[in-house]
Amino acid sequence: MIYLDHAATSWPKPPQVLQAMQDYLANAGGNPGRSGHQLSIDAGRIIYEAREALALLFGVPDPLRIVLQANATAAINLALYGLLQAGDHVLTSGIEHNAVMRPLRDLETRGVRVTVAPCDTTGTLDLAAFADALQNKTRLVVLNHASNVTGTIAPAAQAAALAHQAGALVLLDAAQSAGCLPFSMAETGADLLAFTGHKALCGPPGTGGLVLADSFDPAWLHPLMRGGTGSRSEFEVQPELLPDKYESGTPNGVGIAGLGEGVRWLLERGIESIRAHEQSLTRELLYGLETIPGARVYGPRSAEAQTATVSFTLADMHVSDIGWRLDQEFGIMSRVGLHCAPAAHRTIGTYPEGTVRLAMGWSNSSDDIAAVINALDRISRP
């Protein structure tokens, strides 16, 4: 079996991640922050250590500005619904995931003004059009750091600089970049950064979060959920202290334990090393696809300008048939269709059928790529 669906969920997880989750349930299964006994203290320590690892990964000085959520979608919803009000203007791009577009379309019905800045057919943001679309009352800019369809890496720092000049805040969707691209929060210029744990961070599903830049004032962001936090229990109003303001209810301790171990494993291995490995695989795949009859590759077609995510189609073949044959005949796991990003497929010209997406990760090898190219060569020929 060759797994090439890392952009959806990374697999396999490092063994340390599984061990950390088992150890949490066996040895530290108390309710963190809710009691003073040893199991509660142990659970709280594990969760704080996960925040520390994430803060180190993102270059954030204060681990308490890592707000843990169920996934990037939950983090994005917290940012959008917690910040935006009727009359506000928000600017996004034409390559976004539905985790951004669906909340924005709902907010549009509530009086929020939404503008979509165009991207070219490779998924690259048109910075000139983006700058023109910024308005004096733009409250927020929302961009994905890397496309889940084409792997295209956004010019985040340039866009953030333009946004800040216009007085706008910046929310960066790092679901596809955290763990596979080396960057810090400051380098991106983002005020808010949403991440998920189950992709390149090598953690389990049900983990993720929202990172608040040092310059971001939490008074601007209202919590979407209120309830027990284990802190300031004498009051019936939500505490203002971080991260409790946004983390009501018992956390996913076992998942966070796994996430923390996944991040530590990445830091030990080195994000730069992982990036170099995935770039090498991307070059091999892009080169191999050029040899396949009828293959059309979408996106930058450059290992330097994209993540290890490659979308393609084959002439006169349905993407669902290609994916089925890759799976059933060759044991190659891909993802086909619209990838929860219809805006992106409209931008690159593959709507409504979509593409076949091959998304590589740390566990893949050159032998995997050779097997994929051989399989596609056979599928493409009558």
Q: Would you please indicate which residues are annotated as catalytic (active-site) residues?
A: 340
**Cross-strand partners of 192:** 171, 212
The answer to whether 169 touches 192, Cβ cutoff 8 Å, is yes
The two tokens of residue 104 are 């924005």
Kind plus residue range of the DSSP H or E element containing 296: strand 295-298
The secondary structure of the chain in percent helix, strand, coil, rounded to multiples of 5, reads: 40, 20, 40
Return d(Cα 219, Cα 11) in angstroms, integer.
Answer: 38
State the Cα–Cα distance between residues 36 and 30, nearest whole angstrom: 10
The torsion angles phi and psi of 144, rounded to 5 degrees, stand at -85, 140
At CA 69, angle to CA 68 and CA 70, rounded to 5? 140
Cα–Cα distance measured from residue 78 to residue 88, given in angstroms and rounded to the nearest whole number:
16
Residue whose C-alpha is closest to residue 88's, from 116, 115, 113: 113
Contact 193, 215 (CB under 8 A): no
- Angle, helix 319-330 to helix 366-380, in steps of 10 degrees: 120
Give the strand order in the sheet containing 355-359.
295-298, 309-314, 355-359, 335-337
Whether the Cβ atoms of residue 20 and residue 43 lie closer than 8 Å to each other: no
Task: Label residue 301 exposed, middle or buried (CB < 10 Å: 0-12, 13-18, 19+).
Answer: middle
